[in-house]
Amino acid sequence: MARLRLEQIRELPSEEHPFFLLPERQMVLNLPESQKPLKLSYREAGSGRPVLLLHGLWTSAYTFRSLIQPLSGRCRLIMPELVDPLGESLMPDLDYRPRRLADLALAVIQALKLEKPLVVAHAESALAGIWLALKNPQHMSALVTLGMSIQLPVWLKFKRWLVGPERIMEKWANRAFQKPQMAALGMIDYADPAVICRQEIRLLSRYWSTWPGAKTMATILSDTLNSSYRQEVLRALSEHLQSGKEFPVPLKLIYGDSDRRAPVEHGRRLNRLIPGSELLIAESSAGMMQVERPEWLAGVIESAS
């Protein structure tokens, strides 16, 4: 996607959405192991069954914009921003490991008094969803994971090894701070380039447009490209299942048929590992099925028990 130039991208999305019409609210959360509270913004739409939508760390809550219209008539959608774009109230110690993201999700559930919400989680947040289900299943009704990578692709492993963790973080932060829109464009990976719009690029560029924000995003990217990032969750999952226990909540595993970072084989492996889980493949999707296949995904979410 980085080969696309900004002038080649449409200004607004091909379909209208009400995301920016929703008021951006604030809440303050106190997380375990943290010395200072975290200020978090979120948007909310609809009424009915609570659905907590957790975006991946390379994107924002805006990624769920196309689900608002098909779901808000029957569901209460909660879409938190997991990273502060201004870099003013970052998660303490820049710790975005899956178990800390799970703490954050649980804090949101408790702060908003959500009654056993359905959790829909993308990419890195999907790993947090697994951890949340293993450790606090009483706080959720079901889990839908989107594009959950359980192993770092070889091409990303090589890139990280070639540059080195410290240098890659510094390099990304410097380059992205100077050209935040290009950094935002480089983070997007859609199967259909027509889905991208400049509105999304401008929104995502906020994360890179301040020096604290650029350092935070670079740190997150460096951490998530570490092969150990996923191991704590996968180890806990394996230990849970090997002890003879079932996965605590109903689980749907969703993968895009052309996703490079989380290929379908990852879903097949998890589906074999977790009895009772359901594997679904989103056609013509590079892993952002919430934008590429929103109507289909909305049906999957509504059917999650």
Q: What is the pLDDT of residue 2?
A: 45
Q: What is the pLDDT of residue 101?
A: 93
Contact 82, 202 (CB under 8 A): no
Q: Which residue, 1, 226, 191, 180, is CA-closest to 86?
A: 180
pTM (2 decimals)? 0.90
Alpha helices in the chain (DSSP H): 68-71, 98-111, 124-135, 154-163, 165-178, 180-187, 198-205, 211-224, 231-242, 264-273, 289-292, 294-303
Computed on alpha carbons and rounded to an integer, the radius of gyration of the chain in Å comes to 18
Alpha-carbon gap, residue 176 to 87, rounded angstroms: 14
Contact 256, 191 (CB under 8 A): yes
Of the listed ranges 18-27, 208-217, 254-263, the one predicted with least confidence: 208-217
> What does pLDDT average to over the chain?
86
> pLDDT confidence of 301, banded at 50, 70, 90?
very high
Contact 57, 82 (CB under 8 A): yes
Q: What is the pLDDT of residue 224?
A: 84
Mean pLDDT value of segment 270-295: 95
Mean pLDDT value of segment 237-253: 96
Q: What is the pLDDT of residue 305?
A: 78
Q: What is the pLDDT of residue 133?
A: 98
Who wins on pLDDT, 204 or 89?
A: 204
Spell out the domains of the chain, with CATH numbers in brackets. 19-153+227-303 (3.40.50.1820)
Q: Which two tokens stand for residue 201?
A: 């690029």
